[in-house]
Amino acid sequence: MGFIENSSEPDDLQAWCGACEEFFLNEGEMTEAFRAFNNFSLVCEFCYAIIKQQHSANP
């Protein structure tokens, strides 16, 4: 699945999967089409850390 974090603002905890990263790169920015494809969900910092550990290539 992958876990790609927002690298432009590292203190802003945002991440998405490999498929979302590919879509984002093809769009070139965070377009409405990307937002619709991504279907963002909010999670707390604790859950973010668990999801990151479970889906990172290098936990």
Q: What residue ranges in 1-59 does DSSP mark as E strands?
A: 4-5, 15-16
CA proximity to 19, closest of 42, 38, 5: 38
Q: In Å, how far are 3, 9, 12, 33, 34 from 56, measured between CA atoms?
A: 5, 19, 18, 25, 22
pLDDT value of residue 2: 84
Residue ranges of the domains in the chain?
4-55
What does the pLDDT profile of the chain (59 residues) look like in tens digits? 789 988 778 788 889 999 999 999 999 998 999 999 998 899 999 999 999 999 987 64
Q: Tell me the pTM.
A: 0.77
- What's the confidence (pLDDT) of residue 58? 62
Cα→Cα distances 8→5, 11, 18, 54, Å: 9, 9, 17, 23
